[in-house]
Amino acid sequence: MTNGWIDIKNTDMMLIEGGNPAENHPCGFKWAIEAKRNRNAKMIVVDPRFTRTAAVADLHLQIRTGTDIAFLGGLVRFAIENSRIAKDYLVNYTNAAFIIRDGFKLPDDGLYSGFDPATQTYDKSTWNYAEGGDMSGKAGGGTAVPHAGSHGQDAHAAVPPALPENVAYDLTLQHPRCVFQLLRQQYSRYTPEMVEKITGIPQDQFHKAADLFTSIRKDGDTKKVGTIIYSVGWTQHSSGTQTIRTAAILQLLLGNVGRAGGGVNALRGHANIQGATDMAGVFDLLPGYLKVPNPNDTSLDAYLKRITPKPSKPGPWQSMNYWGNTPKFAVSFLRAMFGPAASKENDWAFDYLPKVDRNYSWIQIWDNMYRGSVKGLFAFGMNGVMIGPDSKKNIEALKKADWLVVGEIYPDETSEFWKSPGITPEEMKGIQTTVYRLPCAGFAEKDGSFTNSARWLQWKNAALPPPGDCRLDQAIVAQIFLKVRELYQKEGGKFPDPILKLAWPYGDPHNPSLSEVAKEINGKALADVTDPATKLVTKAGQQLPSFAWLRDDGSTSCGNWIYSGSWTEAGPQLARRGTEDPSGLGIYPNWAWSWPVNRRVLYNRASCDVEGKPWDPSRRQVWWNESVQKWTGHDVPDFKPDSNPKEHLGPFIMNPEGVGRLFMPIGAVADGPFPEHYEPIESPVANLLHPNQSNNPVVEKLKTPLDKYGTVAEGFNIICTTYRLTEHYHYWTKNNPANVELVPEPFVEVPAELADEVGIRGGEKVKVTSARGEIIAKAMVTRRIKPMMIDGKKTYQIGIPIHWGYRGIAEDEGRTAHTPTNLLSPTVVDPNAFTPEFKGFLVKLERV
Amino acid sequence: MSQATLRVQKISGHAGPIPGEGMQREDQVCKLVDTTTCIGCKACEIACQEWNDLPFAQTTFDNTYQTMPTTQWNFWNLIKFNEQPKEDGTMMWLMRKDQCMHCADPGCLAACPSDGAIVQYTNGIVDFQQDRCIGCGYCITGCPFNIPKFNPTTKKVYKCTLCSDRVSQGLEPACIKACPTGCLHFGTKDDMKDLAEKRARQLREHYGFENAGVYDPPGVGGTGVIYVLHDATNPEAYGGLPANPSIPWAVRLWKTPLRWLGNLAMLGGLVGVTLHYLRFGPKTVHNGESEKRS
Amino acid sequence: MAPTRRDFLKLSTAGGVAASILGFDLAPAYAEMRALKIARASETRSTCPYCSVSCGVIIYTQGDGAKNVTPFVVHVEGDPDHPINRGTLCPKGSSLQQDILNERRLLKPQVRRPGSDRWDDIAWDDAINEIGRWVKKSRDATFVEKDAQGHTVNRCEGIAWTGGCTDTNEFNYLVVKTMRSMGLCYIENQARV
């Protein structure tokens, strides 16, 4: 979330799409209800179903799953055509005025410039700003675009294209190649007629929603604010990242980012996956969103040069380009990893880090295990068989592994893959995988911190010891690691150095205390460090006050730079419990600690106009204080604290441009600088914008015999989406009698009209089949999903909750068919986030 | 009241005056249920079961999100789900928390022949005292909301206590505390009425619900649980909330003009037979299964 | 079915039950309540392990921390001080007691041997020894020091780590340290899916 849970109460307008927060985040959703109760705020819900969230919304539109870019693109068009935009914000805080290179092409035929069909990738060199300067009012016939800097890019393929330092721009936004005009052109195709044909949302309803959402900018109003709230209903598509980008574009157009009650708010689905992303629980990151090194990074310098951006902006503007500090974060991380073994002489042990040459994401693990190259798997609290996609493939993959180590608190499907339904005793004998199932500690038995969706780090305390012979997770991993280290010490082996030299400075090495680890993550001074501005000193051995103290000379160590400030000399900031909220905006600055530097709303400089005055004085967060020549306020300014507004320093300090990106230049995304509607990989219709390029062109399909994709021609004529219920939590509460009581059995939500066609009555068993597998569950016949007209053709959607598998209370009692929902889902992922397309695929539905 | 006891103002099956009646004042407590902000999450259902340590029931899928058709002896708090089509082709999904209404004029208490098995505290909570319950089930007949439920094992009747143990210790009821959206609220009856009326006005003025209003039925003297409804003219749509609930006539009869008969043991059986007929004879079941299709 | 604890409720007055029934007593009638079950329980503040709202919860455990007591959970309720949930909990948060005290919990290490149709118990030390041995074997077999271009890559391609949604930040950091130092590239988490 750019903002936070409580901040939702400050909004005037909510667009909730790709998420069902009443279902999945009830306690956070209270702040949406508060906005309605206290501000008469309006709520628009766009979802394939009439959900629990829709039940309390002011307007619900039923959308065909996977067509959100078409809907949002329609909103972008509506906002521009009706001048429901924040003009000053747009010109000054986004790249609307930036001029794009000649040679860049919009995807009228479904492809941007630079596509190579052989590799299914783009050459992104035209996706860039033109070098130049002020072109305001010099638009002419659209030919006066300077080409400086664009030459020769293609000839040096190994050198990635870079952003120009001095960007060409037109503050009148009239230049035909300025971002704003290209944006207008791009979404001019997303007419209400087209939106209706693609999404199934009738034009009058679309108009109602568009008019309502953009009404906050009616007649030039800049005080009101709207928020967009989404979740994995957007992420879990083959164009998930671009859907979220469209929302960001809309919010930038309306000037809603950085403001109380605004923002683009991702509701993360789990207690600590925000933290897991921050801490690089994913293959392509190191802690604090540092990019992983690749084989071309032949030295630390080469690596840092590649990942450290340079400012790119109109000449008179300023850009803080905070990522310019990357070397400090990276060297401090290496010092935390390898301690004294990381020295200037050995490039801070840069070669101890594995160099990542390709995609190692979730579905690749299973694909390569199935192909035989992944021999062993650790699964700690991660039920990969249930999660899928294509559970069957994951089971088949595990059969080929040498070993599997599961750390769990309940018996789960992954640890028992070898006795999953359908495996005969004979076949079981042939499964050679050794499986260890280690009993872990539950949440109440562990301390440590979770990071919530609002980026708050909160320390929790252990309430009781783990039962039986269970061990703490950190003890188990420490003991396995120390055993491996011992083996390499005794016997040698492949490149043992990083294992032998990993810093392991914990009081009890076999059971590290998490408070020690938290302090290591925050970082400390290894030598006395002086702040050049204030002359304050952090002495060697002391905890660092914040990441502003990090150095690239080895004098600081820090496990994760964005968490620096969470556990300082003043103690654990992440355990604070102050309940004061002086602004009344729900900031609670003394409760826990949020990254970065306890800032609650990101980009909050943009909550003020160019002069530094809040757009809405009744919701002021930070502002420029002329008398003290400083930014001040209720929140921590997301800005250089003493930057006078006259300097025109951009409010989006993490971007090299200093402004928000309507146009995403060069390498940031794989599939286009503007979002374009592409059909889900399995879709009942061809793309109505460009039938010859229906799907996202850079999305790859996997190629083992198990990776099958269905079509309408093969009889898979119904759209299926999957989701959670508020009564259950993923694959966990099926072990909990209370939650099993609330919803005891798996079911399939079927539109009443479809049920009539197929001859199904509520409560009867149905079979749902995809190209990959089939499941059996009872039908819930409902009017909450209606048939849709897609390009004039009657189309049905059904929905299936994901919670049941082959181990659980109901499962063990024989009350279910033992068919995990993800037997159905396809092995295809978004090309940017590598998240599978769980939310839209094709099935057939039959009576059992 | 911060002690482990609660003062009583009405006692079932009790001859003569209530000891100490009218000697002290106390505010009426009240739950406010705003159905327009209920998301049917069932947090209240589990909070109730957990706080009261009620054994979990075995349920079966029944073509609805509703946990079970009606409240049970071990399930005192149930969200009723109803899909409600609107004239413009759109729909509403109504969710209403069903539980004991804690009537000011409780039909259960009026019907109960056992001295002290049902009491009403001075704060308005209607509570069953199972050690005095004789299992006759007349309270079930007396209730216009179909709330008290018989446990065939213990031969006693159970229902929501409005967490009288928590309330007596200065805490809010468990369901109220849990409610994620704040559609549940707890306070004095006067304050809750005020809050409810304000919310209903907001719904009329800003959200286009012309018939929004408050449900506090006078037929049972008003209730200790009041609802805000989008359409107060049609409470039946909310899982069979009765439009004009009242205490059944036979219970009234037994309770008022014929009450002295109850003190005469020899006629007690006759009354019992009458009530038994009422209990097990004709009886309306509000089963809230409106999502069920056949 | 066992009677619930409400069965022990007593109706009493200062003058005794008989007086109350006869109705001659002017002292107010009281119904005795069951005691508040969390009155003397220990309170621990924690965070709900389910969604990303991060509701504050109070875990009530029996016992006052004395040495001879193994605490057990008697109740879990929302933390009213927590600014986001303000004491509220959803149906999953409300049932957390059942998650902690659950008869389905795994309580001992187990192993399934190749070709076997059952779980066998295994001592912790043996499990750790065997797993360490597997890791070394797979790592040594699949480690790549230099790629085809001759670039140093130092990666292990044969082992994958998948982490869960309730792993703490500190635990995840230890995973990054240990797994990256062993050369793993396949490090993924619920955060991806």
Which spans in B93-188 are helix H?
107-111, 138-142, 164-168, 174-178
**In sequence order, which residues have a C-beta less than 8 Å from that of residue A794 and are 6 or more positions away?**
A787, A788
Query: Are A347 and A678 within 8 A, CB to CB?
Result: no
Residue B20 has pLDDT above 90, yes or no: no
Nearest to B93 among A36, A740, A784 (CB): A784
Cα gap B142→C105, rounded to integer Å: 45
pLDDT digit string, tens, across residues A392-414: 999 999 999 999 999 999 999 99
Average pLDDT, stretch A677-681?
98
pLDDT at C18: 35
**In sequence order, which residues have a C-beta less than 8 Å from that of residue A464 and are 6 or more positions away?**
A444, A445, C44, C59, C61, C70, C71, C72, C73, C100
Q: Which chains touch A (3 or more CB pairs under 8 A)?
A: B, C
Cα gap A321→A687, rounded to integer Å: 39
Cα gap A420→A413, rounded to integer Å: 7
Chain C CB within 8 Å of residue B123 CB: no
Please, which pLDDT band fits residue B276 given cuts at 50, 70 and 90?
low
pLDDT digit string, tens, across residues A315-358: 999 999 999 999 999 999 999 999 999 999 999 999 999 999 99
SS3 A172: coil
Cα gap A790→A198, rounded to integer Å: 6
CA dihedral C129, C135, C140, C146 (to 10 degrees): -150
Cα gap B160→B225, rounded to integer Å: 11
Chain C, 76 to 95: residues with Cβ < 8 Å from chain B are: 76-78, 80, 85, 87-91, 93-95
State ipTM: 0.96
Chain A, 787 to 826: residues with Cβ < 8 Å from chain C are: 809
Which spans in B67-223 are helix H?
107-111, 138-142, 164-168, 174-178, 189-206
**In sequence order, which residues have a C-beta less than 8 Å from that of residue A413 and are 6 or more positions away?**
A383, A385, A386, A391, A420, A731, A805, A806, A807, A820
Contact between C169 and A481 using a beta-carbon 8 Å cutoff: no
Cα gap C110→A476, rounded to integer Å: 14
Nearest to B50 among C25, C87, C95 (CB): C95
Cα gap C50→A272, rounded to integer Å: 9
Token pair 């960007």: residue: A167
Residue A596 has pLDDT above 50, yes or no: yes
What is the full DSSP assignment across A207-249? HHHHHHHHGGGGGG--S--EEEEE-HHHHSSTTHHHHHHHHHH
pLDDT at A160: 65
Chain A nearest-CA distance from C8, in A, is 25
Nearest to C174 among A295, A512, A730 (CB): A512
**Mutation test of the interface with chain A: which of C59, C79, C133, C190, choosing the one with the most A Cβ atoms within 10 A?**
C190
Query: Are A631 and A643 within 8 A, CB to CB?
Result: yes
**In sequence order, which residues have a C-beta less than 8 Å from that of residue C73 and are 6 or more positions away?**
A444, A463, A464, C59, C60, C61, C62, C97, C100, C101
Tell whether A370 and A254 lie within a shared domain.
Answer: no
Nearest to B95 among A50, A55, A58 (CB): A55
What is the full DSSP assignment across B64-86? SSSSSSS-BTTB--EEEEEEEE-
pLDDT at A138: 75
- The answer regarding whether domain B8-16+25-248+258-280 maps to CATH 3.30.70.20 reads yes
Query: Are C138 and C160 within 8 A, CB to CB?
Result: no
Chain B CB within 8 Å of residue A50 CB: yes
Amino acid at B136: C
Which CATH number fits the domain that encloses residue A463?
3.40.50.740
Please, which pLDDT band fits residue B264 given cuts at 50, 70 and 90?
low
Structure tokens at A335: 């010092």
For residue B196, the tally of other CB atoms under 10 A from its CB is 23
Tell whether A836 and A722 lie within a shared domain.
Answer: yes
Cα gap A668→A672, rounded to integer Å: 9
Residue A599 has pLDDT above 60, yes or no: yes
pLDDT at C65: 87
Residues of chain A contacting residue B81, judged by C-beta atoms under 8 Å apart: none
What is the full DSSP assignment across A55-97? GG-SEEEE--TT-HHHHHHHHHHHHHHTT-S-HHHHHHHBGGG
DSSP code at position B294: -
Torsional sign, CA C156, C162, C167, C169: positive
Structure tokens at C87: 């004491």
Which residue, among A843, A841, A845, A839, has the nearest Cα to A20 in the 3D structure?
Answer: A839
Please, which pLDDT band fits residue B14 given cuts at 50, 70 and 90?
confident
**Domain ranges in chain C?**
1-34, 42-100, 110-189
Chain B, 89 to 128: residues with Cβ < 8 Å from chain A are: 90-95
B259-262's contacts with Cβ under 8 Å and 24+ in sequence apart are: B262/B13, B262/B15, B262/B113
Which architecture does CATH list for C42-100?
2-Layer Sandwich (3.30)
DSSP code at position A169: B
Query: Are B217 and B242 within 8 A, CB to CB?
Result: yes
Q: Of A36-45, A208-217, C34-43, which gets the smallest average pLDDT? A: C34-43
**Mutation test of the interface with chain A: which of C68, C166, C175, C184, choosing the one with the most A Cβ atoms within 10 A?**
C166
**Mutation test of the interface with chain A: which of C116, C171, C185, choosing the one with the most A Cβ atoms within 10 A?**
C171
Q: Which residue has the higher pLDDT, A168 or B289?
A: A168
Q: If you measure CA to CA, which chain A residue comes closest to C132?
A: A484
Residues of chain B contacting residue A57, judged by C-beta atoms under 8 Å apart: none
Residues of chain C contacting residue B179, judged by C-beta atoms under 8 Å apart: 88
Average pLDDT, stretch A193-200?
98
**Mutation test of the interface with chain C: which of B11, B125, B160, choosing the one with the most C Cβ atoms within 10 A?**
B11
Query: Are B136 and B118 within 8 A, CB to CB?
Result: no
DSSP code at position A99: B
Cα gap A192→A204, rounded to integer Å: 9
Please, which pLDDT band fits residue A517 given cuts at 50, 70 and 90?
very high
Structure tokens at C103: 């008869």
Cα gap A188→A73, rounded to integer Å: 9
R_g of chain B, CA atoms, integer Å = 19
Chain C nearest-CA distance from A376, in A, is 5
Asked if residue A579 belongs to a domain, the reply is no
pLDDT at B7: 85
**Domain ranges in chain B?**
8-16+25-248+258-280
Tell whether A372 and A243 lie within a shared domain.
Answer: no
Chain C CB within 8 Å of residue B163 CB: no
What is the number of structural domains in chain A?
A: 3
Q: If you measure CA to CA, which chain C residue comes closest to B131?
A: C7
Which spans in B82-163 are helix H?
107-111, 138-142
Cα gap A680→A198, rounded to integer Å: 12
For residue B258, the tally of other CB atoms under 10 A from its CB is 14
Asked if residue A301 belongs to a domain, the reply is no
HEC assignment per residue over A284-319: CEECCCEECCCCCCCCHHHHHHHHCCCCCECCCCEC
Contact between C193 and A835 using a beta-carbon 8 Å cutoff: yes
**A169 backbone φψ class: left, alpha, beta (φ>0; ψ -120 to 50):** beta
Contact between C134 and A376 using a beta-carbon 8 Å cutoff: yes
Chain B nearest-CA distance from A844, in A, is 20
Asked if residue A311 belongs to a domain, the reply is no
pLDDT at A161: 79
Chain B CB within 8 Å of residue C61 CB: no
For residue A778, the tally of other CB atoms under 10 A from its CB is 22
Domain end, chosen from A222, A239, A270, is at A270
Q: If you measure CA to CA, which chain A residue comes closest to C118?
A: A419
Amino acid at A765: K
pLDDT digit string, tens, across residues B33-49: 999 999 999 999 999 99
Q: Which chains touch B (3 or more CB pairs under 8 A)?
A: A, C
Chain B CB within 8 Å of residue A747 CB: yes
**Mutation test of the interface with chain B: which of A208, A727, A736, A766, choosing the one with the most B Cβ atoms within 10 A?**
A727
Residues of chain B contacting residue A739, judged by C-beta atoms under 8 Å apart: 46
DSSP code at position B14: -
Chain C CB within 8 Å of residue B45 CB: yes
Contact between C99 and A24 using a beta-carbon 8 Å cutoff: no
Which residue, among C174, C164, C163, C48, has the nearest Cα to A516 in the 3D structure?
Answer: C174
Domain end, chosen from A501, A532, A548, is at A501
Cα gap A820→A802, rounded to integer Å: 7
Percent of chain A whose predicted confidence (pLDDT) is above 90: 96
- Dihedrals φ, ψ of A470, to 5°? -70, 150
pLDDT at B229: 98
Contact between B53 and C5 using a beta-carbon 8 Å cutoff: yes
R_g of chain C, CA atoms, integer Å = 28
Q: If you measure CA to CA, which chain A residue comes closest to B195?
A: A37
Chain A nearest-CA distance from B160, in A, is 18
Chain A / chain C CB contacts < 8 angstroms: 479
Average pLDDT, stretch A783-793?
96
Q: Which residue has the higher pLDDT, A474 or B276?
A: A474
Which CATH number fits the domain that encloses residue A41?
3.40.228.10
- Average pLDDT value over all residues in chain B: 88
How do B5-11 and B118-121 pair as beta strands? antiparallel
Cα gap B97→A7, rounded to integer Å: 28
pLDDT at B275: 60
Which stretch of DSSP H or E encloses residue C153? Answer: strand C152-163
A63 lies in which domain range? 7-86+203-270
- Dihedrals φ, ψ of A249, to 5°? -60, -45
Chain C nearest-CA distance from B55, in A, is 9
Residues of chain A contacting residue B42, judged by C-beta atoms under 8 Å apart: 726-727, 742
Structure tokens at C133: 């041995």
Nearest to C11 among B119, B156, B180 (CB): B119
Nearest to A26 among B39, B95, B206 (CB): B39
Residue A651 has pLDDT above 50, yes or no: yes
Nearest to C171 among A454, A465, A473 (CB): A473
Residues of chain B contacting residue C93, judged by C-beta atoms under 8 Å apart: 43, 178
- Please state, in angstroms and as integers, the Cα–Cα distance from residue C84 to each residue in A580, C143, C182, following that order: 13, 47, 40
Amino acid at C129: N
pLDDT at B26: 83
Average pLDDT, stretch C75-102?
98
pLDDT digit string, tens, across residues A200-252: 999 999 999 999 999 999 999 999 999 999 999 999 999 999 999 999 999 99
Domain end, chosen from A462, A486, A501, is at A501
Chain C CB within 8 Å of residue A553 CB: no
Query: Are A80 and A74 within 8 A, CB to CB?
Result: no
Residue B50 has pLDDT above 90, yes or no: yes
Chain B CB within 8 Å of residue A34 CB: yes
pLDDT digit string, tens, across residues A576-587: 999 999 999 999
Residues of chain B contacting residue A747, judged by C-beta atoms under 8 Å apart: 61
pLDDT at A151: 39
